[in-house]
């Protein structure tokens, strides 16, 4: 039984991770989350009354608070997911990304270092600081190659540059201070409880309302899609069995052009929704090409052979099965969607730097 501090546990991936930890392990979890627009405790309703789960509203940039929470909770692992995560928002307002993703990670590293240094040798040997990062740190790919753990960093957006900076800090804290770190860089996740500013949930919700489905540029950009529960199982494998200091790339081997993804969603909706919004016969007719995202990376693809071979992880979900489950989840959980769209965001276009 471990004590696991999860930062950002009210977000999309963090909440899936906590549901997994509570339902599948005997570990105790402390969820440290600031509850920004992207954090929703409702995503944790299924496990919120479990004795092994607790929540604290705190900001990773608040050194005194985080230090005291770590001291009281005595974590064996820190799994760090808290971040500003949306590329379009980083184009409109990079400051919060620099502050949360870089300064926040630095602050957490300092708290972890001070805590780690005071541990007994036995507890030191088992402690891990796991930074959950993104494949976007590697930048844009040509048609044939894939991101490997040793691919050079070449981030394109303020978001990906801030995550790249955080990755560098995490590695430096191991080299300089001996903090036992692990790093994972994952491709695009999708699944339940995904905030509706991201491509897949936005398209499902817009289609249900008969609104245009805005594809940036020509819609031919490629992303490698991974069902969120598969990502969570990979994170658990890495924190338990990963080698200290190592980086593991995680991907779904499911490369799709954005337009293909949106067409699959529309085809599912055509079958699942009997009463379509007025004037709509085929949801595909709602697809609309709009101005491209500035600095838009054309293609991401992940070589996951390291985590496959060394830790035996494979995705369980195919894109076909995962996207069907996801569309069905959004159709059944419109209340969750309405509540998270609290007024500050109404599915308007973001990221044009206007």
CB 93 within 8 A of CB 28: no
Output 22 or 80, the one with its CB closest to ligand DAU: 80
Minimum distance of ligand DAU from residue 71's CB (angstroms): 31
Cα gap 207→62, rounded to integer Å: 41
Does 184 contact ligand DAU by CB under 6 A? no
Residues that bind ligand NAD (CB under 6 A): 7-8, 10-14, 33-36, 38-39, 59-61, 81-85, 100, 104, 132-134, 163, 186, 188-189, 195
Cα gap 344→354, rounded to integer Å: 18
- Which 105-134 positions form the footprint of ligand DAU (CB under 6 A)? 134
**Distance of alpha carbon 19 from its chain centroid, rounded?**
15
Does 188 contact ligand DAU by CB under 6 A? yes
Beta carbons within 8 Å of 303's beta carbon, 6+ residues apart: 146, 147, 148, 249, 251
- Using alpha carbons only, give the angle 58, 61, 112 rounded to the nearest 5 degrees: 90
77 binds, among ligand NAD, ligand DAU, none (CB under 5 to 8 A by kind): none
Minimum distance of ligand NAD from residue 274's CB (angstroms): 32
Output 10 or 170, the one with its CB closest to ligand NAD: 10
- Determine which one of 106, 138, 159, 190 is catalytic: 159
Output 34 or 263, the one with its CB closest to ligand NAD: 34
The CA dihedral of 185, 187, 193, 196, to the nearest 10 degrees, is 120
Minimum distance of ligand NAD from residue 312's CB (angstroms): 21
* φ/ψ (deg, to 5) at 215: -100, 130
Interface with ligand DAU: number of residues (CB under 6 A): 19
Cα gap 47→54, rounded to integer Å: 10
Cα gap 232→309, rounded to integer Å: 18
Both structure tokens of 89? 């928002």
Minimum distance of ligand NAD from residue 82's CB (angstroms): 4
**What residues act catalytically?**
135-136, 159
State the residues that interact with ligand DAU by CB under 6 A: 85-87, 134-136, 187-188, 198-199, 202, 214-216, 221, 223, 258, 293, 300
């Amino acid at each position: 039984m471990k004590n696991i501090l999860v930062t950002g546990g009210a977000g999309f991936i963090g909440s899936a991770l906590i549901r997994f930890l509570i339902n599948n392990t005997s570990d105790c979890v402390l969820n440290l989350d600031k509850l920004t627009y992207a954090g929703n405790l409702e995503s944790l309703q299924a496990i919120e009354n479990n004795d092994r789960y607790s929540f604290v509203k705190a900001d990773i940039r608040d050194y005194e608070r985080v230090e005291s929470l770590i001291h009281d909770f005595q974590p064996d692992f820190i799994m760090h997911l808290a971040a500003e995560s949306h590329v379009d928002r980083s184009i409109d307002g990079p400051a919060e990304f620099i502050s949360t993703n870089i300064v926040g990670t630095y602050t957490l590293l300092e708290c972890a270092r001070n805590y780690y240094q005071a541990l007994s040798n036995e507890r030191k040997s088992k402690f891990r600081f796991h930074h959950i990062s993104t494949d976007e740190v590697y930048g844009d790919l040509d048609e044939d190659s894939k991101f490997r753990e040793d691919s050079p960093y070449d981030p394109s957006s303020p978001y990906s540059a801030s995550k790249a900076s955080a990755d560098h800090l995490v590695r430096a804290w191991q080299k300089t201070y001996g903090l036992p770190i692990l790093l994972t860089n994952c491709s695009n996740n999708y699944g339940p409880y995904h905030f509706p500013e991201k491509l897949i949930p936005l398209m499902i919700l817009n289609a249900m309302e008969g609104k245009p489905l805005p594809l940036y540029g020509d819609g031919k950009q490629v992303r490698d899609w991974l069902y969120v529960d598969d990502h969570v199982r990979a994170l658990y494998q890495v924190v338990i069995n990963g080698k200290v200091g190592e980086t593991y790339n995680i991907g779904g081997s499911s490369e799709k052009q954005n337009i293909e993804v949106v067409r699959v969603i529309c085809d599912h909706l055509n079958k699942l929704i009997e009463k379509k919004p007025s004037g709509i016969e085929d949801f595909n007719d709602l697809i609309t090409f709009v101005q491209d995202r500035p600095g838009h990376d054309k293609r991401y693809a992940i070589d996951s052979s390291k985590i496959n071979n060394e830790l035996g992880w494979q995705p369980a979900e195919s894109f076909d099965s995962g996207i069907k489950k996801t569309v069905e989840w959004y159709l059944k959980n419109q209340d969750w969607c309405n509540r998270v769209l609290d007024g500050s965001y109404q599915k308007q276009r973001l990221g044009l730097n206007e």
